[in-house]
Structure 1
Amino acid sequence: MLFRSLLSLSCIGLLVTALPDKSHLVTRQPNDCREISIPITVEVPRFLISTEINDDWDAAALTFNLTRRDFGQATFPLPITGTTAGPVRSTYSVGGTFCGNGSTTLILTHGILESKLYWQPDFPGSERYDFVKAAVKAGYSVLSYDRIGVGSSSRIDPLTDAQFQVQVAVLNALVEHVRNNAASPLPAHKVVLLGHSYGAYLSAAAAASNQSRNSVDAVLLTGFAGGFSHFGPFLAGAGLRVARDRRPRRWGALDPGYLTTADRYADAYRRVAAWTHERGSEPFAAGELPSLLATSITYRDITAPVQIVQGRYDVSACGGNCAGQLDEIRGNLTGARVVETVEDLPAGHNLNLHLIAPKAFGLMFDFLGRQGL
């Protein structure tokens, strides 16, 4: 039977608690940046996911299933058997980089197969692709963080913890932490959510939720068209493999439920392939995508101004041509005070790693400026 008990993130009661008094400065970086670690407790229902990943054959089978034409429909339902009897309480450590001293803070959420390095790449000549540096120069503060399960944040169970609604609850807690915690290094009068790809869905869901709707002053989304029609080509091209078997020296301690791309060529149409594969990429957990597909985001509940900035040739968001593909999501954002879309930038999915990046950054800052931010 098709699993139809979707979790609506705009109405479900979520207990989300940041622990601001325990956040601490870990190290200092140049350019007024510092590494921080924030303990966060969330309490949300979990999906019961029936997928099991032990080896590359299981990863390949998951890819076949996720790309099947009728995946998620009655003929081939999601691998979800139900939900927990009630909310599950968990505490995580969220690792982030905080830069700048502006009164408006941008909270940056990266996508699948990425870490917070997406926003501040460190390969030679990467200055033009450095969103964090550009934002600080424009007068903003920036919190870029690793989603739980990734990089400097807590390693988590890839099925029970690495779920979309849990990641949203973590982001809600970060919004509360940044907005209200005068004792931390992150005080802000205004908060903007900027999400890329999977992070765009998280940012939209947080902005639509009861927890953050009145605390978010604007939403910026990239690598995003609001739907899932074009996930198939993206996943097929990724050639998912068990991360610990692919890169044992780097990821050998991970559960086999963490997946990565087959090789650097699977990344080539999306990013600066060599740097991404060797340095910038991070595995994603098997529970992330089924839980996203089983979650209903009520876009009309977003009240803050929204800007969607798209590379025209984005495969996963638009099937390789975004012209006209943002009309539907624009029409769903009926509660937003302002909605602006850009769909014709000459770039693919990972907008920040294309030559057009500085122009894209400027469009975002101009939009924020027109909203008084």
Structure 2
Amino acid sequence: MALLYIAASLLAISSKSFVVAEPSSTYTCNTFTIPLKNISAPSFELTFEIKTQWDITDWTINEARRDSATAFNGIAGPSTVTGDFDISARFCSPLNLKRTNLSQTVLVLTHGLGADKSYWDPTFTGGEEYSFVQAAVTAGYSVFHYDRIGTGLSTKADPHRVVQFPIQVEILAALTRLLLAPSSPYTSDVSLKSAVHFGHSYGSYITAALASAYPDLTQGISLSGYSGIFDFFNILIAGWQSRVAALLDSSRWGHLQSGYVTPVDLYADEYLEFKSPYFDHSVAEWASSVKSPYAVGELATLGQTPYDTTNFTKPVQVFQGRYDLSACGGNCDGVLNRTALLWPKATPLDISGYFPAGHSVNLHHNASVAFAAMLGFVTDNIHA
């Protein structure tokens, strides 16, 4: 596979960036609106456009059929895109920065489809035990998590032509550069020396592509909801039974363009994200209540964007729920042997697929065990 090429971008930091402080007894968080200017990346012209529920149903059939790889890819040809985007983001760091040098490393977290940055720090009562952000800050690290374009409070750009895989990679690179810049306005006066990138699901593919295209921007990566294998995506697409979000629930999503789509109901959400008996139904209900519709261009372009991970030499962790549907077809036993082949030079490469969970590892029982393994990998291999 050819190395993913992402065009160089020009960044402009606006003096109107919006900042909200969030005090805590042990750590502090600031929420920002970060304006990115003239972000440029390769893109794709699509052969389809989603306007109605009939359209998204036909697209689901085309993507889920057994011969979709050869019969339908939805791509008419290559293009480029350049745009300005506002990114909603949050930076958290320990209050006692002197107790450890870990705070000079920022963990950059990228969420998956159907979610926003709250995946990493759930907002419901009792959500602390499912919060990777709180676990990481308690361990001494600084943390940055953000809403990808098309989700949460970030820019809702054209879901067919703009919100595609390559631009998401370029935005992650741009944000990382801003965080590591001297006197960055987005690090709450914490002087950062390095970044480690964490991804979940679609965010893991973005993170893997960043490691391929911009290895100097990261000291290591940790991936969940990921195998690097596309064999089981038709199971995901068929089971989601996606609908045009604005037509499904106009009170929630009537402001979105018709190319933003979402799983049909709570149980379609659960189908991908969770596995009984390893989760509480109330947690799945919360996740569904705060879900962010995804841009159809994101899935259409994921498998069409080549990037090469075989030359990445830094630490790589893959931490999988054993029963992950889209990554492993519902059972990771044996599947992750193929994942190891994608990272032959990673030093070290740590792959685990036995944690009792479905796709959304963070939202299952004993999430603290998963967090300890993820953070321990960073501490042992980057701060050893």
TM over 0.5: yes
CA distance in 1, matches of 2:31, 2:58: 38
State how 1:336-347 maps to structure 2 within 5 Å: 336-347=346-357
2:209 corresponds to which residue? 205
Residue 82 of structure 2 corresponds to residue 78 of structure 1: no
SS of equivalent residue, structure 2 residue 69: coil
Deviation at 1:181, TM superposition (A): 4.0
Deviation at 1:15, TM superposition (A): 1.2
CA distance in 1, matches of 2:176, 2:135: 22
Identify unmatched segments of 5+ residues in structure 1.
1-5
CA distance in 2, matches of 1:183, 1:289: 33
Deviation at 1:180, TM superposition (A): 1.9
State how 1:169-208 maps to structure 2 within 5 Å: 169-186=170-187, 187-208=191-212
Is the contact made by 1:19 and 1:38 (CA closer than 8 Å) also made in structure 2? no
Aligned length: 359
Q: Deviations over 1:67-118 (max 9, x none)?
A: 1111121xx131111112xx43211111111111511101110001111111
**For residue 255 of structure 1, what is the amino acid of its counterpart?**
Q
1:51 corresponds to which residue? 48
Is the contact made by 2:199 and 2:205 (CA closer than 8 Å) also made in structure 1? yes
Q: Deviations over 1:112-164 (max 9, x none)?
A: 11111110111122111011111100111111100001111111000111110
2:100 corresponds to which residue? none
Change (3 A) 1:56 1:13: closer
Is the contact made by 2:112 and 2:200 (CA closer than 8 Å) also made in structure 1? yes
CA distance in 2, matches of 1:325, 1:135: 29
1:219 corresponds to which residue? 221
Is the contact made by 1:23 and 1:38 (CA closer than 8 Å) also made in structure 2? no
Is the contact made by 2:18 and 2:31 (CA closer than 8 Å) also made in structure 1? yes
Change (3 A) 1:67 1:23: farther
Deviation at 1:340, TM superposition (A): 0.3
1:144 corresponds to which residue? 145
SS of equivalent residue, structure 2 residue 150: coil
CA distance in 1, matches of 2:221, 2:150: 24
2:90 corresponds to which residue? 97
CA distance in 1, matches of 2:310, 2:175: 22
SS of equivalent residue, structure 1 residue 18: coil
2:125 corresponds to which residue? 124
1:366 corresponds to which residue? 376
CA distance in 2, matches of 1:329, 1:344: 15
Is the contact made by 2:219 and 2:382 (CA closer than 8 Å) also made in structure 1? no
Deviation at 1:52, TM superposition (A): 1.0
Is the contact made by 1:25 and 1:34 (CA closer than 8 Å) also made in structure 2? no
SS of equivalent residue, structure 2 residue 198: strand
CA distance in 2, matches of 1:139, 1:233: 39
1:274 corresponds to which residue? 285
**For residue 208 of structure 2, what is the amino acid of its counterpart?**
A
CA distance in 1, matches of 2:116, 2:177: 22
SS of equivalent residue, structure 2 residue 196: strand
**For residue 189 of structure 1, what is the amino acid of its counterpart?**
K
Note the aligned Cα RMSD (angstroms): 1.6
Residue 160 of structure 2 corresponds to residue 162 of structure 1: no
Identify unmatched segments of 5+ residues in structure 2.
95-102, 275-282
State how 1:189-338 maps to structure 2 within 5 Å: 189-209=193-213, 212-269=214-271, 270-271=273-274, 272-279=283-290, 281-338=291-348
2:279 corresponds to which residue? none
1:3 corresponds to which residue? none
**For residue 339 of structure 1, what is the amino acid of its counterpart?**
L
Identical-pair percentage: 37
Change (3 A) 1:301 1:324: same
SS of equivalent residue, structure 1 residue 195: strand
SS of equivalent residue, structure 1 residue 69: coil
Is the contact made by 1:20 and 1:177 (CA closer than 8 Å) also made in structure 2? no
CA distance in 2, matches of 1:59, 1:245: 11
Change (3 A) 1:11 1:343: closer
1:16 corresponds to which residue? 9
CA distance in 1, matches of 2:297, 2:74: 10
**For residue 330 of structure 2, what is the amino acid of its counterpart?**
G
**For residue 278 of structure 1, what is the amino acid of its counterpart?**
S
Structure 1 stretch 281-290 or stretch 178-187: which is displaced more?
178-187
**TM-score, length basis structure 2:** 0.90
Residue 79 of structure 2 corresponds to residue 68 of structure 1: no
Is the contact made by 1:223 and 1:350 (CA closer than 8 Å) also made in structure 2? yes
Is the contact made by 1:104 and 1:189 (CA closer than 8 Å) also made in structure 2? yes
**For residue 56 of structure 2, what is the amino acid of its counterpart?**
A
**TM-score, length basis structure 1:** 0.92
CA distance in 2, matches of 1:326, 1:223: 12
